[in-house]
Amino acid sequence: MNNPLVEARGVKVHFSERTSSVMDFLVRRRRIIKAVDEVSLSIERNETVALVGESGSGKTTFGRALVRLYEPASGSIIFDGTDITRLNQKELIPFRRRMQIVFQNPYSSLNPRRTVGRIIGKVLEVHNIPGREKRIKDLLSVVGLEASLVSRYPHQLSGGQRQRVAIARALAVEPELIVADEITSSLDVSVQAQILNLLSDLQRQFGISFLIISHDLAVVRQVSNKVAVMYLGVLVETGSVEDLFRNPKHPYTQALIASIPSTDIRSPWHPTELKGDIPSMVNTPAGCRFHPRCPYAWDRCRTEVPVLKDVSSSGHAVACHLYDEGERNRLAGILNTPKQTEDAWMPTSQARARINWNCSKQLKQWMEFSSSSRTELG
């Protein structure tokens, strides 16, 4: 098996900030924001991985840490066999050419005082790449822009054109990895389709690997090979795009996918409404971080942190106690049914009919979870 192009192993990114407390000021105490906490993720060559989740879940922070724009507090990032977290800024320069990032907002990521030609040309200048004028025009052609735009300023371009310029800037050094951070969020639907098609064309043409950061699951389903779901700084589920959309395991993933509007009049849209807001990263909940909003949470969820484990042979992994092997064995014993070894164990209808509904609240919650999963997901 080939080594992945880039692999994050247990990456943590923490920030500190001052508090308004006088006592904290006197003793110089600062609170810690756990933006990314023990995240492990790999990206193969010529692969598109999507990182999804609500705003404030740590997606952008992880993407920037992956290209060393943020310094990880711990963990390692292995790029083509080299741990780049141990490199200083001078040693990192050769790797800068091999990994680039396209920022979320093209209105703020492009220097308003520079023309398109100077914006792209600056990258070529920093990395000592010759033939700048011809290369700039070639790059504009690759992203579908006319060479005449080389003398224009960002304010003279549309949102889609600005994003294409940002992509051209990232392509200038022929990278092997591009982190695309919400690159379609500020664009209308028709321009979104053009940008997504452009990314697919670039991957086929140059063999680039992408990390697509997005909260738009329709975008993710169109362009990605693998999906990772992030919540409050941790990964809760990973898998191929087919597995994750066809059979989501984690309650949070199910809620995200259920939020996609349906255009099928034969199948009414019933979005899952999560209670409450995403908690603070300063005081993260104990145990499973999703338990304050999870409709199936029970005592173990409030005290024990779930581990991301494979639940199928296809590499589908989930961090949820409801899919823990020991828990499935225990519940199978309570239900007096044999344990199954499918991707996700669900009690049979005959077993459910024999349940004593005076059993524990924990077991009832499990049955509700199983029933809703089977009904909503088929």
* Closest residue by Cα to residue 126 from 147, 146, 97: 97
pLDDT at 218: 82
119 contacts 162 by C-beta, under 8 angstroms: no
Residue 237 pairs in a beta bridge with 229, 318
Mean pLDDT of the chain: 83
Q: What is the pLDDT of residues 261-308, one digit of tens each?
A: 776 667 666 666 777 778 888 888 999 999 999 888 888 899 999 999
Superfamily of chain region 43-74+86-231: P-loop containing nucleotide triphosphate hydrolases (3.40.50.300)
pLDDT exceeds 60 at position 349: no
Give the residue, 31 or 339, on which the prediction is more confident. 31
Is the confidence at residue 39, as pLDDT, over 90?
yes
From residue 240, how far is each of 47, 63, 93, 166, 244 by CA, in Å?
A: 11, 19, 33, 28, 6
Mean pLDDT of 247-253: 92
Are 253 and 229 contacting, i.e. CB atoms less than 8 angstroms apart? Answer: yes
Domain segments of the chain: what residues? 43-74+86-231, 255-377
pTM > 0.75: yes or no: yes
| Tens-place pLDDT, residues 44-95 | 999 999 999 988 899 999 999 999 999 999 999 999 999 999 999 999 999 9
Q: Which two tokens stand for residue 313?
A: 């042979």
Give ∠ CA 135-140-142 in degrees, rounded to 5: 90
User: Please, which residues have CB within 8 angstroms of residue 277's CB and are 6 or more apart in sequence?
Assistant: none
Burial status of residue 103 (CB atoms within 10 A of its CB: 0-12, 13-18, 19 or more):
buried
Percent of the chain at pLDDT > 70 equals 79
At 21 the pLDDT is 67
Average pLDDT over residues 13-37: 75
